[in-house]
Amino acid sequence: MKTVIVDRSDIVITAKKSGIVVETQQIPYRLIDLLVLCGEMEIGTKTLLALAKEGVSLLTVSKNNRTFSLTLPLAPKNGELKMLQYRSVTKNRLNFAKYFLEEKIKTHAKHLEKLGFEIDLRDWMQKIREAETVSQMLGIEGSFSNIYFSRYFSVLPKALHKSRRSKRPPLDPVNAILSYLYTYFYHLITVRLHMNGFDPAISYLHEPFRSHNGLSSDILEVFRAKINEKTAEWFLEKYLKAEDFSKRDGVYLRFESRKRLWREIKTFGEDLLPSINDEIALLRSAIT
């Protein structure tokens, strides 16, 4: 998926027949699958319609990093796939949910091993096999996450975290980056599901809730460990430091630091995308 990121303020983005124009630079539509706009800029309905016509998804991020908005183009209805998806939730939700939870725990245990910690996978896999409801599995997931993050935070400088996961708002720099990347990849997965004909709101492990795309969260679970690993790498290698963040009703990445980080996020996303596409293809195969 070809991603273009524009992180500027006080500019106007316009549309031409063959692409969009950002200040003096023209970017062809064929080079854009996902357009990420950050900061304060102007974009008119003509440009929005042109993007939709060309099949470009639009992810908008507020300047203070607190709000994300995803606009998707019209895609093939693919009613047959959606019917199969709904049927799989009705008839086999528990087994699909177990798959996603098993993958989450396996990938997180592998990450902990890299950090020097041992996890008895057999015990956790047994708990999942014995679970009779999705609610029970969410309890298992919560217990595992508490153990995982207590060890994860222990390898990072104490000045950068409060030794626990915090969100809405994040209370420290490490949690700020974790939340930012989780949200970014949640939307990226939503785009891929939408363009592949899935209903992103119909899920297995996560409960459907209002505007939440539960299936995106299901698939994200498979990749959270990779995101956590990349986050730790940036802090341990001092690519990100405490001074890259500001505190106001929570802790958030500064505007200048975000612009610098986008190149790393884009490269990381390009590395993960083939595996995300494989996971979506695996789900399609499992329900058809």
Strand partners, 58: 35, 71
Residues of the chain under the 70 pLDDT cut: 75-77
Do 46 and 131 fall within a single domain? no
Task: Give CA–CA dist 84/80, Å, rounded.
Answer: 6
pTM (2 d.p.): 0.91
What's the helix, strand, coil split of the chain in %, to 5?
Answer: 55, 15, 30
Q: Range of 48's domain?
A: 3-71
* CATH number of the structural domain spanning residue 278: 1.20.120.920
* CATH number of the structural domain spanning residue 24: 3.100.10.20
Mean pLDDT, the chain, as a whole number? Answer: 92
Into how many domains does the chain fold? 2
Of 49, 71, 93, which residue sits at a domain end?
71
Q: Is 287 helix (H, G, I), strand (E, B) or coil?
A: helix
Token pair for 91: 């008839």
Do 25 and 90 fall within a single domain? no
- H or E, element range at 126: helix 121-130
Tens digits of per-residue pLDDT, 253-285?
Answer: 988 898 899 999 999 999 999 999 999 999 999
Q: What pLDDT is recorded for position 288?
A: 86
